[in-house]
């Protein structure tokens, strides 16, 4: 999906005439091109001549509330740059293809943080720092992972005899293991048997188990959550069994079949997803991982079609083998983990701070580049910062960009940061924290309580109508959705602020991208990115931050009751719907 939509803005910038636009838009017509023409050429999704400014409140276009915001000249400059020199796709391309997925504590995560900090510095932001939020005991660096299914068949000759069995490659599998779990030492090839149903079945096959891969029953729970639970539960049961056998409190023969098999020299276990996505999560207890006691059991999760292939060949009595290689590397810590922070200091109220943020860490399953969760939010924040600097914005309040770390393991970076502020007595300085973590869709709205409505409507109004959706030509507007209370929950880093009484805003991301398709799976690659949406998001974040930083008053901070603003575990799968969390 959307594979043809991606064009690097880098290449776009190199081409500056109308004929390049025709090429990008895929049209056959090539107008005459003059290199001296200064006419502005709108990249796809950019409105050349937008109508007069309007705000959008509760889905309706309304007059912009009359509130003095940032300098109109600066806002205009931000919009110009955001539309005609937007580099968000350059950042995302680097992050996803040059660095790759960024598991918390991993080498790539560290590289990404250093790169982002250098970028912020190069654009002139100040107080750039790696804000250490904690340590983890073990670094996990995932190497190449692959798997292949082979079928051994005998050929029947015309004279009735059979020739020696021949092994043929049937198909490649797509697979993952939980992060911080054991991989293989090189490729491990072995026959595949189904998990024995009971003790008798187990006893009958015990002698064949050495070096075999065990095809587990389909997990009873479905989806990302169900699979992570199932694999995590199996991991824990085997780990507990190993501990009990080692300390003598349990005999191997007394263990249930699943745990007992770990002592039969099996190559590993194969669990099926319920569709073509394989989801990556962490083992239980990864935060206290003792390298010397790391369970060595290999457990992979494969696509449903891989499972179906294995299962039906076995049901037919075929001789099936798989070769699996999962290079899971561990480095003894402690490893310091950090959020990346960079600022544009306020000229008038430096101690009133607007935080604009996304998380830089990602899951690291094979195939994933950590693109839409949350390379997009990271790149949007970086471009937003660059746009403000390039436009020469001088906000009256401080704009602080933060790339959170450890989000995927439970908002670790943002929660620790809020605690740091509380301990330093400076939480009061934070006006609001905005989070972009809804994938590649555009910043289509934010919830606001009544007292925040006009400020947010005025702050976001300049962005309305500046970009349009190339799929349906509709403008990419920002809807201020008036709500009774801002929630205190949520599945992303805004929740850490909401819980502490600081308004945390999660951008409702709207558009044609199907967030759940890439979420925590092998499909989360650069190909999912939709440039026009990301350009809108970077521009919207820059304009909103600047305007709120120049507004005559702080955004009111009124958090009342418990409520949900998003949930990590429920990505909306339907196109065009907002997504929330993680």
321 versus 374: smaller Cβ distance to Zn ion: 374
- Give me the least distance between CB of 490 and Zn ion, in Å please: 11
Which of these ranges, 20-28, 208-216, 241-249, 374-382, lies near Zn ion under the rule CB under 5 A? 374-382
| Binding-site string for Zn ion from residue 217 to residue 246, where x marks contact by CB under 5 A and - marks none | ------------------------------
Cα–Cα nearest to 420, from 312, 532, 496, 325: 496
**Integer Cα distance of 219 and 197 in angstroms:** 14
- Contact with Zn ion (CB under 5 A): which of 131, 176, 181, 582? 582
Q: How far is the CB of 417 from Zn ion (least distance, A)?
A: 16
Return the exposure string of 404-417: e unless at least 16 CB atoms fall within 10 Å of the residue's CB, then b: bbbbbbebbbbbbb
Quick one: 434 or 467, whose CB is closer to Zn ion? 434
Shortest Cβ 409–Zn ion spacing (Å): 11
The yes or no reply on residue 343 touching Zn ion (CB under 5 A) is no
> Would you list the DSSP string of 499-551?
HTTS-EEEPEEESS--HHHHTTBTT-SGGG--HHHHHHHHHHHHHHHHHHHHS
Q: Which of 541, 547 has the CB closer to Zn ion? A: 541
Are 118 and 382 in contact by the 8 Å Cβ rule? The answer is no
Pick the closer one to Zn ion by CB: 280 or 464. 280
At its nearest, how many Å lie between Zn ion and the CB of residue 188?
A: 33
User: Minimum distance between the CB of residue 437 and Zn ion, rounded to whole angstroms?
Assistant: 4
Which is nearer to Zn ion, 364 or 437 (by Cβ)? 437
Nearer to Zn ion, 213 or 519 (CB): 519
Minimum Å gap between C-beta 507 and Zn ion is 12
Q: Which stretch binds Zn ion (CB under 5 A): 306-314, 429-437, 520-528, 547-555?
A: 429-437
Here the tokens at position 467 are 């970009």
Complex with Zn ion: residue 110 or 408, whichever CB lies closer? 408
Instruction: Please state the closest distance from residue 243 (CB atom) to Zn ion, in A.
Output: 33
How near is the Cβ of 40 to Zn ion at its closest, in Å?
35
Tell me how far apart the alpha carbons of residues 581 and 566 are, in angstroms, rounded to a whole number: 5
Residue 306 or residue 373: which is nearer to Zn ion going by CB? 373
Task: State the DSSP string of 179-242.
Answer: BTS---SS-EEEEEEEPPSSHHHHHHHGGG-TTPEEEPPPPSS-HHHHHHHHHHHHHHHHHHHH
Nearer CB in complex with Zn ion: 373/454: 373
Residues 435-464 that bind Zn ion (CB under 5 A): 437
Cα radius of gyration rounded to whole Å, the chain:
27
Rounded alpha-carbon distances, angstroms, from residue 506 to 326, 349, 488: 36, 24, 12
* Nearer of residues 374 and 452 to Zn ion, judged by Cβ: 374
Rounded least distance, CB 373 to Zn ion, Å: 4
374 binds Zn ion (CB under 5 A): yes
User: With contacts defined by CB under 5 A, how many residues of the chain interact with Zn ion?
Assistant: 4
Which secondary structure element, helix H or strand E, spans residue 459, and what is its range?
A: helix 450-460
Options 234, 373, 405, 436; binder of Zn ion; rule CB under 5 A: 373
Cβ proximity of 181 and 327 under 8 Å = no
What token pair was written down for 421?
Answer: 């502020």
CB of 411 to Zn ion, least distance (A): 10
- Output 104 or 547, the one with its CB closest to Zn ion: 104
Say how far apart CA 178 and CA 116 lie, in whole Å.
27
Other Cβ atoms less than 10 A from the Cβ of 239: the count is 20
CB of 506 to Zn ion, least distance (A): 11
Binding segment for Zn ion among 66-74, 225-233, 372-380, 397-405 (CB under 5 A)? 372-380
Asked if 537 is part of the footprint of Zn ion (rule: CB under 5 A), the reply reads no
Question: Min. distance of Cβ 16 from Zn ion in angstroms?
Answer: 35
CA angle 130–103–213, rounded 5-degree value: 160
CB 398 within 8 Å of CB 351: yes
Choices 70-78, 368-376, 381-389, 538-546; region in contact with Zn ion by CB under 5 A: 368-376
Do the Cβ atoms of 258 and 236 come closer than 8 Å? no
Q: Smaller CB distance to Zn ion: residue 108 or 242?
A: 108
Token pair 């959706």: residue: 469
Helix (DSSP H) and strand (DSSP E) numbers for the chain = 15, 17
In the bound state with Zn ion, the residue whose beta carbon lies nearer, of 374 and 496, is 374
- CB under 5 A: which stretch of 386-394, 430-438, 441-449, 536-544 binds Zn ion? 430-438
CA 337 to chain centre: 18
CB of 473 to Zn ion, least distance (A): 30
Write the CB contacts of 139 (distance below 8 Å, at least 6 apart in sequence): 105, 106, 107, 330, 331, 332, 333, 335
**Residue ranges binding Zn ion (CB under 5 A):** 373-374, 437, 582
């Amino acid at each position: 999906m959307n594979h043809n939509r991606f064009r690097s803005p880098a290449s776009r910038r190199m081409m500056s005439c109308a004929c390049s636009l025709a090429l990008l838009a895929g049209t056959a017509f090539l107008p005459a091109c003059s290199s001296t023409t200064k006419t502005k050429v709108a990249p796809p999704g950019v409105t050349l001549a937008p109508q007069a400014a309007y705000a959008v409140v509760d889905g309706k276009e309304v007059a912009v509330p009359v509130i003095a915001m940032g300098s109109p000249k600066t806002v205009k400059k931000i919009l110009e740059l955001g539309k005609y020199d937007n580099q968000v796709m350059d950042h995302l391309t680097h992050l996803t293809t040059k660095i790759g997925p960024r598991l918390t504590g991993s080498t790539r995560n560290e590289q990404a943080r250093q790169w982002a900090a250098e970028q912020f510095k190069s654009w002139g932001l100040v107080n750039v720092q790696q804000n250490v939020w904690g340590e983890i005991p073990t670094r996990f660096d995932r190497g190449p992972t692959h798997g292949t299914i082979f079928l051994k068949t005998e050929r029947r000759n015309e004279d009735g005899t059979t020739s020696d069995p021949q092994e043929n490659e049937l198909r490649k599998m797509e697979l993952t293991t939980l992060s911080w779990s054991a991989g293989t030492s090189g490729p491990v090839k072995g026959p595949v048997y189904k998990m024995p149903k009971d003790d008798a079945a187990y006893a009958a096959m015990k002698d064949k188990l050495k070096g075999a891969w065990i095809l587990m029953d389909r997990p009873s729970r479905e989806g990302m959550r169900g699979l992570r639970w199932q694999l995590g539960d199996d991991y824990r049961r085997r780990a507990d069994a190993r501990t009990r056998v080692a300390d003598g409190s349990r005999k191997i023969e007394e263990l249930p079949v699943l745990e007992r098999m770990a002592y039969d020299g099996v190559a590993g276990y194969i669990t099926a997803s319920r569709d073509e996505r394989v989801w990556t999560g962490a083992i239980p207890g990864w935060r206290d991982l003792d390298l010397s006691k790391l369970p060595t059991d290999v457990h992979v999760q494969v696509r449903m079609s891989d499972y179906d292939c294995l299962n039906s060949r076995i049901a037919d009595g075929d001789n099936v083998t798989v070769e699996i290689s999962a290079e899971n590397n561990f480095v003894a810590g402690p490893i310091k983990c950090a959020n990346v922070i960079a600022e544009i200091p306020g000229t008038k109220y430096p101690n009133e701070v607007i935080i604009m943020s996304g998380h830089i860490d990602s899951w690291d399953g094979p195939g994933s580049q950590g693109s839409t969760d949350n390379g997009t939010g990271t790149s949007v924040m970086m471009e937003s910062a660059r746009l403000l600097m390039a436009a020469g914005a001088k906000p009256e309040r401080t704009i602080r960009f933060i790339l959170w770390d450890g989000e995927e393991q439970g908002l670790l970076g943002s929660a620790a940061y809020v605690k740091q502020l509380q301990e330093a007595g400076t939480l009061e300085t934070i006006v609001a924290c905005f989070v972009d973590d809804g994938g590649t869709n555009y910043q289509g709205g934010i919830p606001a309580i009544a007292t925040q409505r006009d400020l947010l409507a005025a702050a976001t109004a300049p962005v309305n109508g500046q970009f349009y959706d190339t799929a349906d030509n509709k403008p990419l507007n920002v809807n201020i959705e008036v709500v009774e209370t801002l929630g205190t929950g949520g599945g992303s880093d805004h929740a850490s602020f909401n819980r502490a009484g600081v308004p945390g805003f999660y951008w409702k991301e709207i558009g044609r991208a199907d967030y759940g398709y890439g979420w925590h799976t092998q499909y989360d690659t650069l190909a999912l990115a939709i440039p026009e949406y990301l350009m809108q998001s970077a521009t919207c974040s820059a304009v909103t931050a600047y305007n709120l930083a120049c507004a005559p008053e702080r955004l009111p901070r009124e958090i009342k009751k418990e409520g949900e603003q998003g949930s990590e575990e429920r990505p909306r799968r339907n196109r065009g719907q907002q997504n929330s969390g993680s």
